[in-house]
Chain A
């Protein structure tokens, strides 16, 4: 202290030197301290926290990207694809990674030669997408376009061109409602599932119907690619790649060619057809028209196309087989007959039909104003005499009829792998009281017995009703081949009753009935059926046949064949077709196609020539016309290249039948099949073999023609 004080008063060169020594020692110490601190810090980072940083370094270096798995095929009952995959090239963008969105999209539009409509759609999709979610710019590109985008990649950050597979529906609109379509997952779907696969570029999920229902089967296991990337995202090298595992195929009971045929046969009408196999309950076709082409949804539906579909009063976006509800009209009469038989009504008992019946203070008319005269049950069915049923139904009351309707499938929801089915209404006194708090009136019974009033059913229910009446068994419809066959051990009706109803329904077509023109043009197969004409508006609005389309009557027809040993049963419903005359010719041709495809096809070809092409061709034509009217330029849907898919087209059935006919006769070997002659390159014909497509399904489809 003393020294310090004196230093301040008297500073000498020596004290300064001492100060230097002291202070330089302090500085040296501080330096050493910092050195030790640094060494300690480094030891902490590099040794104690090594594991953490090593992990971070690896996650910097290695980029794991998922490869969208190939979607499983959807196969028809014979193993032919209703939905498959087509190898092509695609371009996506990830909005997150775009630096100048507008400029990048404009550049892409120029390279890919996209028109204004497409550009507007893409811009909209990019704006609406979550930033991390890839947005499809174009699919189905050829290699030139793909290469053109690829070479410009350095200037186009966020653009991802890649090889991929797009969903392909060979028969387009014919399966639209049945299968649904696929599309990129939206933000909510991603939130819900939280699976990074959903935002993998090129990955699509099922958006409707079976594609959605069987999503988890069809999806498959994504592949993965581990690549070493630089900080700017450039790929340095590939480390390893795990192949994707294609999704499981889904085997349906649908008969591809029949599905296509029925859809096309509905033609310009708006309606649906369902056909079932009476021996298994297999749903062979559920065609609903007009429809959309799921192929164009798969590639990202354009706003013009969507607008066209939405504006159509024939609701091409609704699956009418499951979600169309119609008054079943006179098609319920065989079912009511069955109820009467079970209630002990003697079928021989006659009712005098004079063209109407007074019930309470109202007169209910028979469709035949002049009256049928004396009518027994069979005639009540084949002549569709309303008065007979008015009278008999009042005798047994509504409850047994409603019970029978439910037993036949009306008002029922079937155990099917579908997203939704409307199950309609079977009215009875309890139902009316509950719903309207009003008493059931005799005229309610009268209305219900002719399938009007509150009664509503969808076409599949009508087909099931037809199958149950035809077989007497509680046939359960099935759509997936894996579902066990059910209901055949349950006998609903006695053989005697079944025989009676079968005969009366056969007479509708083959006897003195209401649908003589429905007779099959095949010698030994007799179809049984029942016509129905459902009134949709009051008589004051329309006579049901002319006037505005939406006021016209629905045409219905239920059928099965052969009538004495039912093999197929089904229903056709034509919306506003102007009466049953619009429905049964379609049913006739569908059944003709089942028993003699060539004859069926002839009939269809003649009609399609008048209509202006197949359903798919007409849809494309309609789109072009619509878009032209909307003042937009349109690129027509690409024409198909894979002829292998012809199998599920209706024409394919004829070809397969030809080989079958030969198979049952003595085959004279052709020279090319002679083992002693020079081998020839086998010509793969759609009827005999399926060339291996680029993406083979797990179970290779094999052709086993159904008979």
Chain B
């Protein structure tokens, strides 16, 4: 018998440890970003994590049937919230992305990221196996993805609509849609991307892309963010300038040091070592998530878990590529470290879903061949 009680030992510590490290580390960075203070970022960061962890544990208890049953209503509800936000924006005369819930500002577009994964997983798990290479596997899924993407795009929020597309796309890919469709899509994308750049993007979005290619072209304008972020990371060196010693963040050269550029804030003070810790933690969490997906015997569970992993990964990858000057500045925070309720909610929903699928897996394992 282990001295650790069974309910504790049962928890997926391989994921929880790196997660707790990220949350704690994030709190320290936010403490520094506030100029050496728990308020206003670090304390609420920890409180929100606490609340959403409880939420994730509660999610763990949901059965597969319950989740499947709730999938379409949740998707529709989220769509309605998106429409509501858009309508409120029209009334207030300006673009609005969030609803004020009092304790936090909720972005319905954030909720759509896990929702799209759930709804597509449900759709493909219900789809008769033989239809996977027919138009009936593609068109409904396209509609399910297209409506929220369109709604988020008009907000306009390019980053989030790309995240929804990515999450949905990964689920479709893993659902087993014919490979040639993706090849055609890739080819079409290569053709359409330049067209989209010139005709679909807003001028401010175009500028972000052009500055990415040459930040020096506009050092005080759109290139400023990327330049300052690279200076912060680069000046950190191997071990950083020391806790609370980051001049780039403390003297406000770094834009958004507590949200989108939290990684740069961290890297300036903790250096390459700190950055490596963060990247390894994310790698461990995502690897665990993918293992959960692969271990699942249930098609729904597989697709949900993999889709959630993809959603978290999209956040992490785009954010880190952005702060290191590989991606344009799109407002995407770093999961578990950036200050912000909505992204914490989304990512904890993803974590909760993964823990839920993980529990389904262990139930299957213990009950043997009962399904």
Query: A residues bordering B, Cβ < 8 Å?
Result: 8, 11-13, 15-17, 19-21, 23-24, 27-28, 31-32, 34-35, 38-39, 41-43, 45-47, 49-50, 52-54, 56-58, 60-61, 228-232, 236
Q: Beyond the given A16-B176, A52-B234, could you list 9 further A-B residue pairs with CB under 8 A, ordered by the A residue number?
A: A16-B129, A31-B290, A31-B313, A32-B283, A38-B321, A42-B279, A46-B238, A53-B230, A231-B253
Residues of B in contact, count (CB < 8 Å): 50
User: Is A53 in contact with B233, judged by CB distance below 8 angstroms?
Assistant: yes
User: Is B231 in contact with A38, judged by CB distance below 8 angstroms?
Assistant: no
User: Is A60 in contact with B253, judged by CB distance below 8 angstroms?
Assistant: yes
Interface of B is mostly: helix
- For B317, the chain A residues whose CB sits under 8 A away are 31, 34, 38
Ordered by A's residue number, 29 sampled pairs between the chains whose C-beta atoms are within 8 Å are: A8-B178, A11-B133, A13-B129, A16-B129, A16-B175, A17-B302, A24-B294, A27-B170, A27-B173, A27-B306, A31-B283, A34-B321, A38-B317, A39-B275, A41-B324, A42-B276, A42-B279, A45-B233, A45-B324, A46-B272, A50-B236, A56-B235, A57-B232, A57-B235, A57-B248, A60-B251, A230-B251, A231-B252, A236-B251
- Give CA–CA (A49, B236) in the complex, Å: 10
Shortest CB-to-CB span from A559 to chain B, Å, is: 68
A35 in contact with B279 given A20-B176, A23-B174, A27-B170 (CB within 8 Å): yes
Interface of A is mostly: helix
- Over the window 266-299 of chain B, the binary record of Cβ atoms lying under 8 Å from chain A Cβ atoms (1 yes, 0 no) is 0110011001100100110011001001100001
- For B290, the chain A residues whose CB sits under 8 A away are 24, 27-28, 31
A12 in contact with B129 given A32-B283, A57-B232, A60-B251 (CB within 8 Å): yes
A54 in contact with B234 given A13-B129, A34-B317, A43-B272 (CB within 8 Å): yes
User: Is A24 in contact with B235, judged by CB distance below 8 angstroms?
Assistant: no
Q: B130 interface residue, CB < 8 Å from A?
A: yes
- For B230, the chain A residues whose CB sits under 8 A away are 45, 53
- Over the window 226-264 of chain B, the binary record of Cβ atoms lying under 8 Å from chain A Cβ atoms (1 yes, 0 no) is 001011111111100000000110011100000000000
Q: B310 interface residue, CB < 8 Å from A?
A: yes
User: Is A38 in contact with B279, judged by CB distance below 8 angstroms?
Assistant: yes
Q: Specify the chain B residue showing the minimal Cβ separation from A45.
A: B234
* Cross-chain pair count, CB within 8 angstroms: 136
User: Is B235 in contact with A41, judged by CB distance below 8 angstroms?
Assistant: no
Q: Specify the chain B residue showing the minimal Cβ separation from A52.
A: B234
Q: B138 interface residue, CB < 8 Å from A?
A: no
Q: Specify the chain B residue showing the minimal Cβ separation from A46.
A: B272
Query: B residues bordering A, Cβ < 8 Å?
Result: 129-130, 132-133, 170, 173-176, 178, 228, 230-238, 247-248, 251-253, 267-268, 271-272, 275-276, 279, 282-283, 286-287, 290, 293-294, 299, 302, 306, 310, 313, 317, 320-321, 324-326
- For A41, the chain B residues whose CB sits under 8 A away are 324, 326
User: Is B235 in contact with A53, judged by CB distance below 8 angstroms?
Assistant: yes
- Give CA–CA (A52, B294) in the complex, Å: 45
Shortest CB-to-CB span from B165 to chain A, Å, is: 15
Among candidates B233, B235, B253, B310, residue contacting A27 with C-beta atoms closer than 8 Å: B310
- Give CA–CA (A46, B232) in the complex, Å: 9
- For B306, the chain A residues whose CB sits under 8 A away are 20, 24, 27
Q: Specify the chain B residue showing the minimal Cβ separation from A12.
A: B129
User: Is B231 in contact with A57, judged by CB distance below 8 angstroms?
Assistant: yes
- For A42, the chain B residues whose CB sits under 8 A away are 233, 267, 272, 275-276, 279, 324
- For A57, the chain B residues whose CB sits under 8 A away are 231-232, 234-235, 247-248, 268
User: Is A39 in contact with B279, judged by CB distance below 8 angstroms?
Assistant: yes
User: Is A60 in contact with B247, judged by CB distance below 8 angstroms?
Assistant: yes
Q: Specify the chain A residue showing the minimal Cβ separation from B233.
A: A45
User: Is A56 in contact with B231, judged by CB distance below 8 angstroms?
Assistant: yes
- For B294, the chain A residues whose CB sits under 8 A away are 20-21, 24
A47 in contact with B321 given A13-B129, A27-B310, A232-B252 (CB within 8 Å): no
- For B130, the chain A residues whose CB sits under 8 A away are 11
User: Is B320 in contact with A24, judged by CB distance below 8 angstroms?
Assistant: no
The 7 A-B pairs with the shortest beta carbon distances in the complex, nearest first, are A53-B234, A57-B235, A19-B176, A61-B247, A231-B252, A46-B272, A16-B176
Q: Specify the chain A residue showing the minimal Cβ separation from B326.
A: A41
- Give CA–CA (A24, B176) in the complex, Å: 10
Shortest CB-to-CB span from B339 to chain A, Å, is: 20
User: Is B271 in contact with A46, judged by CB distance below 8 angstroms?
Assistant: yes
- Give CA–CA (A137, B129) in the complex, Å: 82
- For A236, the chain B residues whose CB sits under 8 A away are 251
- For A230, the chain B residues whose CB sits under 8 A away are 251-253
Shortest CB-to-CB span from A581 to chain B, Å, is: 71
User: Is A46 in contact with B234, judged by CB distance below 8 angstroms?
Assistant: yes
- For B175, the chain A residues whose CB sits under 8 A away are 16, 20
- For A28, the chain B residues whose CB sits under 8 A away are 287, 290
- Give CA–CA (A24, B287) in the complex, Å: 11
Shortest CB-to-CB span from B137 to chain A, Å, is: 10
User: Is B133 in contact with A8, judged by CB distance below 8 angstroms?
Assistant: yes
Shortest CB-to-CB span from B166 to chain A, Å, is: 11
User: Is A24 in contact with B293, judged by CB distance below 8 angstroms?
Assistant: yes
- For B247, the chain A residues whose CB sits under 8 A away are 57, 60-61, 228
Shortest CB-to-CB span from B28 to chain A, Å, is: 19
- Give CA–CA (A230, B279) in the complex, Å: 30
User: Is B178 in contact with A231, judged by CB distance below 8 angstroms?
Assistant: no
- For B320, the chain A residues whose CB sits under 8 A away are 38
- For A8, the chain B residues whose CB sits under 8 A away are 133, 178
Q: Specify the chain B residue showing the minimal Cβ separation from A62.
A: B247
Shortest CB-to-CB span from A142 to chain B, Å, is: 34
Most buried by B among A38, A50, A54: A38
- Give CA–CA (A504, B283) in the complex, Å: 111
Shortest CB-to-CB span from B361 to chain A, Å, is: 14
- For B324, the chain A residues whose CB sits under 8 A away are 38, 41-42, 45
